[in-house]
């Protein structure tokens, strides 16, 4: 049998399964998996896979931002607010039968902090030590009281890993050992990943036995796969115009949801010419958010003027509206004019955030060049290289996006403005005043007092400009009308295990 016939046979089989089988749902995406090791996983899609194959001490009630116990049956906090004692359930196991006990949790937390991967600062910045009290009692002592600590534990960085699979001294790049509703049956990087029900999961079984996730090169092939029946669900990233077009089809349902996802420019404040704050401020005055929102996203987004998203407590609009005259004046103060223009590189990644990214980069280039003083060279790199570039300081100005690790304003300031977080995101920003303000806010439980501090932090952010917020997204998904259980949650957790097929 020839290769073409084999390909067509596979496609026919995929289509047949997606239409006929109620125990398989096929999902398509243009996103990519970077790693399935919680110690080094800090991108949305990889984390979301882990959220379906692993569990942590706590999780959010489905469809809400309310935390519930999962591997922890309950916990206590001492009078100092720094010692957390977790009492673990005794029936939780990894897929190979290894019990998930306090020894596993200590191994996992200590491993994260020792390996110091991308998300490690979420624990290492605040955790002083971990202890095994007994087999099913795990204790964590913090460096200082942190009111959102339990929320952090709902993120994948705090998920326990199987010591028989995940080495203590290095990151693991293979298939994870499942503790959640699904286990990974097959993973061919950038081709597909197959999730099947985990027989050793202590909780409710998934509503669909098998989820197949196929990876596509771009939004047009993703839309075609949905329309031809090759997939049942298209999640991340359809083109915004395709979303609007698909709303007119009777056989497809389009879902939209409010999203705390934000998009922004990162500026490496240590790299010339971006080490000059006047240059950074000029860029902030130059961006044209309205064109991005209306022309690129056809209204499926809204302009953002702070790193804390609109609608979340603590948000304050602190970045300026567009003003090219002020931008030119700042550039002149920095030593640039029409005869001596500022020449900069602007980086983007072409597929990780969908096919709109090149258009966004073009709009930003035009926005900056409208000053008459800035010349922009557009550059791009695929996601794995892109991450390497911003971690090692190669890129001075580049686009990134943020999905919350935990639903608290702290998650929109600490990862960006703490010295450890800023290194992980490539701005290399450091400001002791901001760090102290954020620690003060972490210690408080009074929302009004925390809000006052976050206002100050955001004002300093707008003054120092290590980041330029651009827009706040709208979550979208399109699926065959027979697929039920799709929820676009405030946490942005996409739960494959609640999807099911109904004729």
| Cα Rg of the chain (Å, integer) | 23
Residues 6+ apart with CB under 8 A from 188: none
So what's the pLDDT on residue 7?
43
Domains observed in the chain? 11-30+181-251+481-501 (3.40.190.10), 51-158 (3.90.76.10), 259-474 (3.10.105.10)
Output the CA torsion 151→154→157→162 (10° steps). 140
Residue 395 structure tokens: 């890129």
Question: Cβ(217)–Cβ(351) under 8 Å?
Answer: yes
Give the number of other CB atoms < 10 A from CB of residue 429. Answer: 24
| DSSP assigned state of 296 | I
Q: Which residues of the chain have pLDDT under 50?
A: 1, 3-20
> In sequence order, what are the beta bridge partners of 477?
255
So what's the pLDDT on residue 326?
98
Q: What is the Cα–Cα distance from 41 to 262, expressed in whole angstroms?
A: 19
Question: Cβ(259)–Cβ(474) under 8 Å?
Answer: yes
What is the value of pTM for the model shown? 0.92
Q: What is the Cα–Cα distance from 414 to 70, expressed in whole angstroms?
A: 26
């Amino acid at each position: 049998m020839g290769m073409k016939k084999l390909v067509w046979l596979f496609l026919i089989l995929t289509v047949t399964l997606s239409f006929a089988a109620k125990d398989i749902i096929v999902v398509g995406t243009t996103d990519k998996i970077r790693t399935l090791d919680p110690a080094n996983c800090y991108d949305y899609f990889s984390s979301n896979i882990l959220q379906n194959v692993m569990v942590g001490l706590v999780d959010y009630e489905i469809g809400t931002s309310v935390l519930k116990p999962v591997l922890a049956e309950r916990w206590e906090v001492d009078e100092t607010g720094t010692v957390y004692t977790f009492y673990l359930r005794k029936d939780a196991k990894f897929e190979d039968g290894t019990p998930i006990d306090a020894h596993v949790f200590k191994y996992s937390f200590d491993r994260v902090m020792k390996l110091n991967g991308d998300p490690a600062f979420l624990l290492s910045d605040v955790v002083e030590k971990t202890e095994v009290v007994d087999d099913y009692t795990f204790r964590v002592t913090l460096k200082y009281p942190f009111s959102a600590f339990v929320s952090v534990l709902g993120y994948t960085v705090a998920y326990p890993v199987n010591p028989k699979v995940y080495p203590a001294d290095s990151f693991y790049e293979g298939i994870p050992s499942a503790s959640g509703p699904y286990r990974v049956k097959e993973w061919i990087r950038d081709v597909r990943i197959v999730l099947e029900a985990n027989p050793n999961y202590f909780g409710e079984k998934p509503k669909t036995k098998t989820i197949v996730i196929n990876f596509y090169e771009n939004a047009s092939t993703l839309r075609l796969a949905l329309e031809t029946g090759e997939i049942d669900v298209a999640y991340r990233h359809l083109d915004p115009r395709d979303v609007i077009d698909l709303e007119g089809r009777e056989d497809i349902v389009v879902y939209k949801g409010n999203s705390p996802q934000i998009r922004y420019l990162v500026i490496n404040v240590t790299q010339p010419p971006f080490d000059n704050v006047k240059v950074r401020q000029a860029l902030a005055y130059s961006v044209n958010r309205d064109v991005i929102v209306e022309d690129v996203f056809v209204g499926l987004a809204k302009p953002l003027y702070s790193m804390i998203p609109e609608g979340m407590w603590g948000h304050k609009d602190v970045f300026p509206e567009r003003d090219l005259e002020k931008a030119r004046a700042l550039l002149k103060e920095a030593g640039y004019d029409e005869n001596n223009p500022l020449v900069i590189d602007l980086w983007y990644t072409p597929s990780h955030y969908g096919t709109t990214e090149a258009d966004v980069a073009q709009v930003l280039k035009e926005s900056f060049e409208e000053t008459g003083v800035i010349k922009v060279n557009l550059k791009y790199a695929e996601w794995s290289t892109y991450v390497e570039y911003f971690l090692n300081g190669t890129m001075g100005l580049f686009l990134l996006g943020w999905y919350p690790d935990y639903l608290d304003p702290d998650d929109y300031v600490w990862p960006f403005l703490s010295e450890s977080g800023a290194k992980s995101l490539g701005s290399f920003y450091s400001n002791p005043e901001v760090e102290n303000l954020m620690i003060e806010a972490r210690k408080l439980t009074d929302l009004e007092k925390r809000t006052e501090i976050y206002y100050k932090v955001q004002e300093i952010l707008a003054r120092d400009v290590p980041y330029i917020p651009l827009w706040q997204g709208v979550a979208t998904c399109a699926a065959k009308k027979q697929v039920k259980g799709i929820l676009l949650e405030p946490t942005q957790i996409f739960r494959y295990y609640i999807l099911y097929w109904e004729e």
